[in-house]
């Protein structure tokens, strides 16, 4: 068996170890590689930055713990920015399996930023119907969510004063890991009720959302852990996403090297067989 053949039949567990080490070592010894801010992430930041105080900011946390490593840092960074700008935060989720996580997230960031439930933010929780909830909210927010996550009637909550439907929302962001997510918010929300919409998503679905970004259907997009790291850099509060960027770069480099090596061995073997 030639060297190329042996390398092409290498035990896949060796590759797992290589990838594991490439991820683990930078996490233990961070280098601090520079992070370049992309225009799509900056657009979201700039839009929030331009909002006047006490504007209504709707954050739809449309993911569950399976996508937590990518979208949780985005949510934390966005909430920190919104609370710092003294916006009225209306949070909700279209994913039933993400309700507990979303509530914990809001409690964590609000206590860190000294914001009060009911006065500065509200967590509406989950309501059945998927995309239909968005249409319902566009007609009457209090029909879609008669009570908040804690069971308190939503009518009369101070943070919702003057908010009757999605038409009263200044800016909405959906952090989506699938459907319903960013696309549903555009189709059933922004396109019908005319509020500005931004998006945050996992890396897997980011390429599918770029056409919406280019056509102006969403005004910005935070894609994956990389996008979260960019947003953390913009607000000046570096967290888990920035800490993970060295590991991300190292694993990407390892995968590129593996792909190149694999191709070299493959073509080398093909050449040897051609000679034989």
Cα 51 to Cα 203: distance, rounded to the nearest angstrom: 28
Binding piece for other proteins, criterion CB under 8 A, among 45-53, 107-115, 163-171, 251-259: 251-259
Cα 32 to Cα 245: distance, rounded to the nearest angstrom: 8
For 137, 175, 186, 204, the CA distances from 167, given in Å and listed in that order, are: 9, 20, 14, 31
| Given 188, 193, 195, 265, the residue binding other proteins (CB under 8 A) | 188
Contacts 24+ apart (CB under 8 A), 29-33: 30/243, 30/246, 31/246, 32/246, 33/245, 33/246, 33/249
Cα 199 to Cα 181: distance, rounded to the nearest angstrom: 9
| Given 4, 7, 8, 23, the residue binding other proteins (CB under 8 A) | 23
Kindly report the backbone phi and psi dihedral angles of residue 206, in degrees, each rounded to the nearest multiple of 5, phi listed first: -60, -45
Which x/- pattern, by CB under 8 A, does the window 39-78 give for other proteins? -----------------------------xxx--------
Which x/- pattern, by CB under 8 A, does the window 134-163 give for other proteins? -x----------xx---x------------
Residues in contact with other proteins, total (CB under 8 A)? Answer: 54
- Joined together, the tokens standing for residue 22 give 């490439």
DSSP per-residue codes, 105-137: HHHHHHHHHT--BTTTEEEEEE-TTTHHHHHHH
| Given 86, 179, 240, 269, the residue binding other proteins (CB under 8 A) | 240
Q: Which CB atom, from 100 or from 118, has the smaller least distance to other proteins?
A: 100
Is residue 186 within the footprint of other proteins (CB under 8 A)?
yes
Smallest distance from the beta carbon of 124 to other proteins, in angstroms? 11
| Number of helices followed by number of strands (H, E) in the chain | 12, 6
Q: Which CB atom, from 125 or from 199, has the smaller least distance to other proteins?
A: 125
- Joined together, the tokens standing for residue 116 give 């009060």
Task: Give Rg (Cα) of the chain.
Answer: 22
* Residue 231 burial by Cβ neighbours in a 10 Å radius (0-12, 13-18, 19+): buried
Q: Which CB atom, from 87 or from 180, has the smaller least distance to other proteins?
A: 180
Is residue 34 within the footprint of other proteins (CB under 8 A)?
no
Is residue 30 within the footprint of other proteins (CB under 8 A)?
no
Is residue 96 within the footprint of other proteins (CB under 8 A)?
yes
Residues within the interface to other proteins (CB under 8 A): 13, 16, 19-20, 23-24, 27-28, 68-70, 96-97, 99-100, 125-128, 131-132, 135, 146-147, 151, 183, 186-188, 191-192, 202-204, 206-208, 211, 214-217, 223-226, 240, 243-244, 247-248, 251-252, 255
């Amino acid at each position: 068996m030639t060297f190329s053949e042996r390398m092409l039949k290498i035990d896949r567990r060796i590759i797992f170890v290589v990838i594991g080490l490439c991820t683990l070592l930078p996490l233990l010894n961070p280098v601090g590689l520079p992070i370049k801010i992309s225009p799509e992430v900056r657009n979201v930041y700039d839009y929030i930055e331009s909002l006047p105080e006490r504007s209504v900011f709707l954050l739809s946390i449309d993911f569950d713990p399976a996508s937590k490593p990518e979208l949780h840092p985005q949510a934390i960074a966005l909430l920190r920015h919104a609370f710092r700008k003294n916006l009225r935060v209306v949070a909700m989720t279209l994913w039933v399996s993400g309700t507990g996580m979303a509530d914990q997230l809001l409690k964590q960031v609000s206590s860190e930023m000294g914001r009060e439930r009911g006065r500065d933010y509200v967590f509406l929780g989950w309501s059945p119907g998927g995309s239909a909830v968005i249409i319902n909210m566009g007609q009457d927010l209090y029909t879609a969510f008669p009570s908040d996550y804690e069971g308190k009637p939503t009518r009369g909550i101070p943070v919702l004063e003057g908010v009757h439907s999605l038409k009263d929302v200044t800016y909405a962001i959906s952090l989506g890991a699938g459907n319903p997510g960013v696309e549903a918010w555009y189709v059933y929300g922004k396109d019908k009720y005319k509020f500005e919409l931004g998006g945050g998503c996992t890396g897997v679905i980011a390429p599918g959302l770029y056409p919406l970004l280019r056509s102006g259907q969403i005004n910005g997009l935070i894609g994956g852990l990389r996008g979260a790291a960019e947003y953390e850099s913009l607000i000046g509060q570096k967290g888990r996403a920035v800490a993970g960027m060295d590991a991300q770069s190292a694993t990407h480099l390892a995968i590129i090297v593996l792909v190149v090596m694999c191709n070299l061995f493959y073509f080398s073997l093909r050449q040897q067989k051609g000679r034989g």
